[in-house]
A and B are shown apart, each in its own frame.
Chain A
Amino acid sequence: MIKIENVRKSFGQLEVLKGIDLTVEKGEVLTIIGGSGSGKSTLLTCINGLEPIDAGRITVDGTVVHDKSTDLNKLRRKLGIVFQQFNAFPHLTVLENVMLAPRKVLKQSRAEAEAMAIKQLGHVGLGDKVDVYPSRLSGGQQQRMAIARALAMSPGYMLFDEVTSALDPQLVGEVLDTLRLLASEGMTMICVTHEMKFAREVSDRVAFFHKGVMAEIAPPEKLFGAPEDPELQKFLAATH
Chain B
Amino acid sequence: MFDTALSAHDLLFLAKGAGVTLLVTAISVAFGTILGILCGVFRFQVGPYWASPVTFILDIFRSIPLLIQLVLANAFLGMVLKLRMSGFTIACGVLTLYTAAYCAEIVRGSIGSVPGTTRRAGRSLGMTWFQDMRYIVLPLATRVALPSWIGLALGVMKDSALVYVVQVTELLKSTQILITRLQEPLFLLMICGAFYFLISFPIARFGGYLEKRWSND
Contact = CB atoms under 8 A, between A and B. Distances in A.
Interface of A: 48, 50, 73-74, 76-77, 79, 81, 83, 85, 87-93, 100-101, 104-105, 133-135, 146, 149-150, 153
A83 B117 contact: yes
A50 B125 CA distance: 11
B187 interface: no
A83 B117 CA distance: 9
A73 B135 contact: no
Interface string B76-120: 000000000000000000000000000000000000000101101
Given A73-B127, A76-B124, A91-B214, A100 B135 contact: yes
Contacts of B143: 91
Contact of B125 (A92, A101, A133, A135): A101
Given A83-B117, A90-B140, A50 B124 contact: yes
By DSSP majority rule, is chain B's interface helix, strand, loop, or mixed? helix
A77 B126 contact: yes
Contact of B120 (A87, A89, A149): A87
A135 B126 contact: no
B148 interface: no
Interface of B: 115, 117-118, 120-128, 131, 135-136, 139-140, 143, 214, 216-217
A87 B121 contact: yes
A8 B5 CA distance: 85
A76 B123 contact: yes
B124 A48 contact: yes
A150 B131 CA distance: 17
B121 to A, nearest CB: 4
A76 B217 contact: no
B140 A150 contact: no
Contacts of B128: 73
Contacts of A48: 124
A104 B123 contact: no
A15 B105 CA distance: 36
Given A50-B123, A104-B127, 10 more contacts: A48-B124, A74-B126, A91-B217, A92-B217, A93-B217, A101-B122, A105-B125, A105-B126, A133-B216, A135-B217
Contacts of A101: 122, 125-127
A138 B7 CA distance: 65
B125 A150 contact: yes
A93 B139 CA distance: 13
B132 to A, nearest CB: 10
A153 to B, nearest CB: 6
Which among A48, A74, A85 has the highest number of chain B CB atoms within 10 Å?
A85
A140 B217 CA distance: 18
Contacts of B135: 89, 100, 104
Contacts of B217: 90-93, 133-135
Contact of B124 (A81, A85, A135): A81
A79 to B, nearest CB: 8
A76 B139 CA distance: 23
Contacts of B121: 83, 87, 89, 146
Nearest to A134: B217
A115 to B, nearest CB: 18
